[in-house]
Amino acid sequence: MVLTQIGRDDEEAGVGTGFAVSSDGLIATSLHVVGEGRPLLVRLASGEEVKVTSVHAWDRTLDLAVLRVEKNRSAGAATR
Protein backbone atom coordinates (compact mmCIF):
# COMPACT_ATOMS: atom_id res chain seq x y z
CA MET A 1 0.00 0.00 0.00
CA VAL A 2 1.05 3.58 -0.58
CA LEU A 3 0.67 6.37 1.97
CA THR A 4 0.36 9.97 0.82
CA GLN A 5 0.89 12.90 3.16
CA ILE A 6 -1.32 15.90 2.39
CA GLY A 7 0.32 19.33 2.77
CA ARG A 8 -1.08 22.66 3.94
CA ASP A 9 -2.29 23.52 0.44
CA ASP A 10 -4.09 20.15 0.06
CA GLU A 11 -1.37 18.99 -2.35
CA GLU A 12 0.68 15.82 -2.06
CA ALA A 13 3.54 16.59 0.34
CA GLY A 14 5.15 13.17 0.71
CA VAL A 15 4.81 9.52 -0.17
CA GLY A 16 5.75 6.31 1.62
CA THR A 17 4.77 2.68 1.81
CA GLY A 18 3.30 0.44 4.46
CA PHE A 19 1.93 -3.02 5.06
CA ALA A 20 -1.01 -4.58 6.90
CA VAL A 21 -0.33 -5.94 10.38
CA SER A 22 -3.89 -6.95 11.23
CA SER A 23 -7.21 -7.53 9.53
CA ASP A 24 -8.94 -4.83 11.60
CA GLY A 25 -7.27 -1.82 9.98
CA LEU A 26 -3.75 -1.57 11.43
CA ILE A 27 -0.86 -0.83 9.10
CA ALA A 28 2.86 -0.33 9.75
CA THR A 29 5.00 2.34 8.13
CA SER A 30 8.03 4.47 8.92
CA LEU A 31 7.45 7.22 11.47
CA HIS A 32 9.08 9.79 9.18
CA VAL A 33 6.31 9.06 6.64
CA VAL A 34 3.72 10.14 9.22
CA GLY A 35 5.63 13.38 9.68
CA GLU A 36 4.14 16.34 11.50
CA GLY A 37 0.61 15.09 11.98
CA ARG A 38 -0.67 16.16 8.59
CA PRO A 39 -3.55 14.19 7.05
CA LEU A 40 -2.63 10.88 5.42
CA LEU A 41 -4.39 8.83 2.76
CA VAL A 42 -3.67 5.17 2.15
CA ARG A 43 -4.05 3.71 -1.34
CA LEU A 44 -4.75 -0.02 -1.23
CA ALA A 45 -3.67 -2.52 -3.89
CA SER A 46 -7.24 -2.37 -5.22
CA GLY A 47 -6.80 1.36 -5.89
CA GLU A 48 -9.25 2.35 -3.16
CA GLU A 49 -8.18 5.20 -0.87
CA VAL A 50 -8.90 5.10 2.86
CA LYS A 51 -8.20 7.68 5.56
CA VAL A 52 -5.88 7.22 8.51
CA THR A 53 -8.03 7.66 11.62
CA SER A 54 -5.28 7.54 14.28
CA VAL A 55 -1.68 6.78 15.12
CA HIS A 56 -2.02 3.59 17.16
CA ALA A 57 1.65 3.37 18.28
CA TRP A 58 5.08 4.75 17.38
CA ASP A 59 8.76 4.41 18.20
CA ARG A 60 11.17 7.19 17.23
CA THR A 61 14.27 5.03 17.74
CA LEU A 62 12.98 2.37 15.33
CA ASP A 63 11.39 4.94 12.96
CA LEU A 64 8.19 2.88 13.19
CA ALA A 65 4.54 3.88 13.27
CA VAL A 66 1.41 1.74 13.46
CA LEU A 67 -1.64 3.49 12.02
CA ARG A 68 -5.33 2.69 12.17
CA VAL A 69 -7.25 3.22 8.95
CA GLU A 70 -10.97 3.41 8.32
CA LYS A 71 -12.74 0.21 7.42
CA ASN A 72 -13.13 -0.70 3.76
CA ARG A 73 -16.83 -0.30 3.07
CA SER A 74 -17.06 -3.15 0.59
CA ALA A 75 -14.70 -5.75 2.05
CA GLY A 76 -14.88 -5.11 5.79
CA ALA A 77 -11.20 -4.34 6.39
CA ALA A 78 -8.89 -1.80 4.83
CA THR A 79 -5.92 -4.13 4.97
CA ARG A 80 -6.92 -6.62 2.29
pTM of structure = 0.78
pLDDT bucket at 78, cuts 50 / 70 / 90: very low
Asked whether the predicted pLDDT for residue 73 surpasses 60, the reply is no
What are the backbone angles phi and psi of residue 48, rounded to the nearest 5°?
A: -70, 145
Residue ranges of domains in the chain = 2-69
Report the CATH architecture of 2-69. Answer: Beta Barrel (2.40)
pLDDT band at 80 (very low <50, low <70, confident <90, very high): very low
CA distances from 53 to 56, 61 (A): 9, 23
Each residue's pLDDT tens digit, 20-71: 999 899 999 999 988 877 788 899 888 999 999 999 999 999 999 999 998 7
Which pLDDT band holds residue 72 (cuts at 50, 70, 90)? low
Using an 8 Å Cβ cutoff, are 67 and 50 in contact?
no
Decide: 38 and 4 in contact? Cβ < 8 Å: no
